[in-house]
Chain A
Amino acid sequence: MSTITRPGVKAGPSLTARLLASQRFSNLTIFGLLVAIIVFFTVVTPSGTFFSNYNLTSIALAGSQLLILSAGVTFLLIAAGLDLSVGAVVVFSSVLAAKLMLGLTSGLAGTAQGGAELWLPILAGVGAGVVTGAAWGLVNGMLVVKSKIPSFIVTLATSTIILGLAQVWTGGMNVSGVPQALTDAFGMGTLLGVPWPVVTAAAVTGLLWVVLARTRFGLRTYAIGANPEAARRAGINVDRHLLAIYCMVGLLAGLVGMIDISRFSTASVSGYANIALQSITAVIIGGTSLWGGRGKMSGTVVGAFIPATLTSGFVIMNLQPFWQNVAVGCVLIFAVFVDQYRRRAMNVT
């Protein structure tokens, strides 16, 4: 029996192999990478430009929308799902909310100004935008769960449909004229010096972090991604669980749409073409396995801020910010390499 209880009788895997294979290592690497990027830019830029309160705040602001989406997508990837439609949902929710606010305020004088009578239309628009996002998420979830078509294909299709509907509705034009009061109070507003969108992102991510790491819902998310059949046999309602995750991701996309119109006063029809892939990238860079069952919110937080940090640094260095894309792609390949290595190391033992 002792041969079973001690598996390391044969020569164990090398130290590097074991390092690469450990979850803690990959979380540390990616965190170390972000720290290295920050240190690098701090050193090579004039003092007080990159590592300043102002610049760090703008990085946080620039990354906040991606972070919110990525926090939800973390659940989805851990459950071995995928959602390519979040960008389309952001656009649809923004358009719907903007149109609703415009319609409800059209009778009022001085739409562009702030005013107490504007708050009802604003809240109605925001509420409708978020609920619509959740509804699209539910549609995605239903299609994935019922049709058994891979989530990649389902959400690729719904992405086109949802964006197409938004384009038809607006004739492909942005919807401007979102009440200035929303921008003043939220989009450009701050809480103790921290922009409201950043506060929102921190709150949402913190909440989802706790849910993933500490609750039964989180634990079952890992189980479903690791072995859905095992989860089913254990009496877990896998379909309902997946439905809840897709619905949550849709809701977060709606929320991101609301942050967007509050920051830019306009519902953008073309602005979110890449965010679905960017969120998946951020989550995978953060160490979540593309094959499900494994991942951490801490990694996602780091992964979501790497693009904004790089962009800011390159801009301050007077380099083209597009270098950010090149760098993120390289980091992505490295992250997936580590993930694959870890999976292989597991299967060997």
Chain B
Amino acid sequence: MTAPPPVLDVAGVTKSYGHVQALRGVDLQVRPREVHALVGDNGAGKSTLMKIIAGAVSPDSGTIAVDGRPVTFARPADAQAAGIETVYQDLALAPTLTAGENLYLGREVLKPGLLGRLGFVDRAAMNRSAERQLSTLGAKLQSLASEVGSLSGGQKQAVAVARASLWGSALIMLDEPTAALGVSQTEFVLKLVEQLRDERGLSVLLISHSMPDVFRVADRVTVLRLGQTVLTEEISALSTNDLIAAMTGAGIPAGGPTT
């Protein structure tokens, strides 16, 4: 019996900005239906790696494969076509648009027939779909007509995640989705992440500085330090101290981490 190929397989990726070597050889494998945490100190290269996987930045060298097929992303649209959706740290929502309009921004639903060919949008259809998407994720908005800018931080995150899960078919990447949130909203967003895995059957790459979050939702974790992969491991085999040691370079005993 052969294991299914990883959803995402990044091998030997490097990227320099002038003299700064942001990535000096990153390996990362995300399996089907797993929440994979990506951790590392400030400047370790997490966001750079995410932008490369999202097609927003091209690597200097290295390979990327999606579902076992080698890919080259020249534009974000290429990554999206491969089923990869990204929730950026600053969310990338249009605050004066509704949830439905945000979910379909750039991929609007048009009315059937002649009106559609004239560019008329079907707001009712987008609203219905938004309601469905959000309620599958366990987030009900008071009013689908309200502007996204007036929602709470957790609700905005829910809209961004709903947008990603609507279009993503392989991998959703989230860059520090709980950084600005309080306790209950953090819990809500972590539940969203679990639902992407458990109900939508997607893989999630979660960038986070929060060790409690990582231990709460991640199945496996990859640690970057100074642009290199220094550790990939099942989360259950690790302690917080192991992770911190790997991130700071305090050293991991040869032969694998201890618990």
Contacts and interface: CB of A to CB of B under 8 A. Distances in A.
Contacts, number: 97
B154 interface: yes
Contacts of B90: 229
Given A215-B120, A223-B94, A230 B184 contact: no
A215 B118 CA distance: 8
21 contacts: A1-B191, A4-B188, A6-B142, A214-B120, A215-B119, A215-B121, A216-B120, A220-B105, A222-B97, A222-B101, A223-B94, A227-B94, A230-B91, A230-B105, A231-B94, A234-B107, A235-B76, A293-B94, A346-B95, A349-B150, A349-B152
Interface string A1-36: 101111110000000000000000000000000000
Contacts of B76: 233, 235
B125 interface: no
B185 to A, nearest CB: 6
Interface in B117-176: 118-121, 138-142, 147, 149-152, 154-155, 158
A225 B105 CA distance: 13
A227 B121 contact: no
Contact of A4 (B86, B91, B150, B152): B152
A226 interface: yes
A229 B139 CA distance: 25
B80 A7 contact: no
A17 B118 CA distance: 39
Interface string B97-120: 100010001111010000000111
Contact of A216 (B80, B86, B119): B119
B245 interface: no
A216 B108 contact: yes
Interface in A190-242: 214-217, 219-220, 222-223, 225-227, 229-231, 233-236
Nearest to B77: A235
B120 A227 contact: no
Nearest to A293: B96
Interface in B29-84: 76-77, 80
B93 interface: yes
Contacts of A4: 139, 152, 154-155, 158, 184-185, 188
B92 A230 contact: yes
A294 interface: yes
Interface string B174-200: 000000000011001001000000000
Contacts of B121: 214-216, 219
B188 A1 contact: yes
A260 to B, nearest CB: 31
Contact of B151 (A7, A217, A222): A7
A234 B139 contact: no
Contacts of A216: 108, 110, 119-121
A225 to B, nearest CB: 8
Nearest to A233: B92
Nearest to B138: A1
B215 interface: no
Contacts of B184: 3-4
A222 B119 contact: no
Interface in A331-348: 346-347
Interface of B: 76-77, 80, 86, 88, 90-97, 101, 105-108, 110, 118-121, 138-142, 147, 149-152, 154-155, 158, 184-185, 188, 191
Given A3-B184, A216-B121, A222-B96, A234 B151 contact: no
A233 B119 CA distance: 21
Contacts of A222: 94, 96-97, 101
Contacts of B120: 214-216
Which 6 residue pairs are nearest across A and B when measured between Cβ atoms? A234-B106, A293-B96, A226-B94, A230-B92, A235-B106, A234-B105
Contacts of B95: 226-227, 293, 346
Contacts of A5: 139-142, 155
Contacts of B155: 4-5, 7
A126 to B, nearest CB: 26
Nearest to B163: A234
Contacts of A7: 142, 151-152, 155
A347 B149 CA distance: 7
Interface in A216-275: 216-217, 219-220, 222-223, 225-227, 229-231, 233-236
Contact of B108 (A219, A226, A346): A219
Nearest to B105: A234
A6 B185 CA distance: 12
A220 B77 CA distance: 18
B125 to A, nearest CB: 13
Contacts of A6: 142
Contacts of B151: 7, 349
Interface in A165-186: none
A220 to B, nearest CB: 8
Nearest to B158: A4
Given A6-B142, A222-B97, A294-B96, A231 B152 contact: no
